[in-house]
Structure 1
């Protein structure tokens, strides 16, 4: 696999992730694509007939609602000898829960799957991405729904939607609000990650970060755990609305961010549904909030806030 670029893709068995997989497989560039999915058998059945001879695909178990599963996945990847290079990490999997649900780790389900587990994936795999650079890429698949970054006005002040005192949903829970929370946290994390990587002071950056807004694609499996009526409305009614996008169109934006030569050595980008460099919400550029939610995420996960120790020299990484 030394002559292949290695891609890790989460949520690849349906929706946007499956479209990204198909588009990567259609490229002339040979890839080894690791599909990180919950259901291995289902994924094997779905992709069995679509992998061309010049491409290589591997399926590995990953359940983002379990930190144990996330850590097992990263240990699987990092323990391989000779060490795998990781050129592209696409964090696409996401969910919205219809009712308040806690994971076995004790976190609100949507916030863990869409944000916290991705922080662990990046934290564990970042040394290998750095070693595999230059122009290794981390793609955070986000949503325009993070943009309403303020809640109701109280006492004349704008209060942020992302509320540290209600991350577990104990005060109130609205599915869309918690989805927005998770996506806003992801954008804040992405920009702070970009700042951390930029502080290394190297002439040539090893890892670039892009945050991608693929557009509203109602035919994906995002609402798979929502009420039956909501799923029906999204897939069969709202999908006809003029502002919606197909999974193929949304997947093309993610694929563009992952492999386009136009984005080589560019980082800290927010890419919109038209493959244009755009702006995220005003709140997402608040540097104090970026630092605060970086620290909060690390504290919740029990990992160090300072990631400088992840930057090993070549001998340490390769063992």
Structure 2
């Protein structure tokens, strides 16, 4: 179910002052820890999620923890680069194409650069549900809306000075998924198959994006954060089986599941570790590059099929001008 709790590298000692970061699903779990840590390193961080109330609660908690850690070095897991966190909420509901496009326009209207895009938000056990856009909900939230978001933010990433990063937070669950061209959204399949397929698609997207963005100064990475004791397996609005909740609790009590901070470390390394500057198309586990275990992930024909299928799904929202950003340097 996950990698062992091997020791991980500490947070890199880098200064992100003047950098701008977007983290989707940053109000809880590894998204929260990612956003907080990058803000402590000096970045301006956009907390992109659907609930303003939960986002504001998370931001207040970040600032409280930051104040405590700043006054006591022993409490801090990062070499803090700022007195006050620059963290801002922006609404983003990935189950809605309209909300995703509104987020893009609102962010562009701010005139900010964008140096790091962390596609972190996700759902599991969301039920046999279609979104208002007509897509299977795991497919849209975990993969398709992030794909749309990324394509529309490419001009900003390109214009922001080199060494920009796109981070696609995947999962080891990609390993057990079979390829089904006749059922790409895994309708009427087991919930873990739905979830795993979206995580496989994120890895495949990494390769197709990296190839098309070669020479652009943008690095594309995907990763498995480890088995993490987060809210994704506990939310009341998700149909998580009793057995899965029991397993998550058991792993946590046996200390076989990472806490959210340690789960975020691999994301943080992909985003800011200087050793990955100029690199792309790397899949990471335990904060280091790792070989992939599912042959579908590296199959170029399958990657191209997914790419074309995704564009077809989003044909009303992706123009020729959008696609030109994938070829112009």
Question: What's the TM-score, normalizing by structure 2?
Answer: 0.82
Q: CA RMSD in A?
A: 2.4
Per-residue CA deviations over 1:57-98 (Å, capped at 9, x if unaligned) read 110000100111000000101123xx2110000000011125
Match of 1:11 among 11, 20, 25: 25
1:106 is matched with 134
Measured in 2, the distance between the counterparts of 1:63 and 1:40 equals 11
1:183 corresponds to 2:199: yes
1:100 and 1:169 in contact (8 A); partners too: no
Aligned length: 291
CA contact (8 A) 1:127 1:312 kept: no
**Contact 1:97-1:223 at 8 Å conserved across structures:** no
1:60–1:98: structure 2 CA closer, same or farther, 3 Å change rule? closer
- The counterpart of 1:162, out of the listed 166, 170, 179, is 179
The corresponding residue for 2:159 is: 131
The equivalent of 1:219 in structure 2 is 230
Deviation track 1:207-238 (CA, whole Å, cap 9, x = no partner) reads 11111111111333255212362563244223
Structure 2 residue 231 is matched with structure 1 residue 196: no
1:240-268 Cα distance to aligned partner (Å, 9 max, x none): 34643221111111111111112111111
Mapped to 2, the partners of 1:195 and 1:313 lie a distance apart of 13
Distance 1:50-1:126 versus aligned 2 partners, 3 A rule: same
| Rounded Cα–Cα distance in structure 2 between residues aligned with 1:139 and 1:148 | 22
Are 1:36 and 1:60, in contact at CA under 8 Å, matched by a contact in 2? Answer: yes
Alignment of 1:32-43 (within 5 A): 32-43=44-55
The separation in 1 between residues aligned to 2:211 and 2:328, in whole angstroms, is: 20
Secondary structure of the structure 2 residue equivalent to 1:75: helix
Q: 1:104 to 1:240 in 2, by over 3 A?
A: same
Alpha-carbon offset, residue 48 of structure 1 = 1.2
Aligned to 1:25: 39
Matched, 1:61 2:91: yes
Q: Deviations over 1:260-309 (max 9, x none)?
A: 1121111111111x211111232211111111101111111113589642
Provide the secondary structure at the position in 2 that maps to 1:50: helix
Q: Look up the SS of the partner of 2:38 in the other structure.
A: helix
Which is worse superposed, 100-109 or 254-263? Answer: 254-263
Q: Distance in 2 between matches of 1:188 and 1:311?
A: 16
CA–CA separation in structure 2 for the residues paired with 1:232 and 1:257: 29
Q: 4+ residue stretches of structure 1 with deviation over 4 A? A: 304-308, 311-314
2:282 is the counterpart of 1:269: yes
Query: In the aligned structure 1, how far is the partner of 2:87 from the partner of 2:280?
Result: 27
DSSP 3-state at the match of 1:132: coil
Please tell me whether the aligned partners of residues 185 and 194 of structure 2 are also in contact (alpha carbons under 8 angstroms).
Answer: no
Unaligned runs of 5+ in 2: 1-15, 67-82
Secondary structure, in 3 states, of the residue corresponding to 1:193?
helix
Aligned residue number for residue 174 of structure 1: 190
> Aligned equivalents of 2:327 and 2:172: distance in 1?
36
Matched, 1:210 2:221: yes
8 Å Cα contact 2:30-2:230 kept in structure 1: no
1:122 to 140, 145, 150: 150
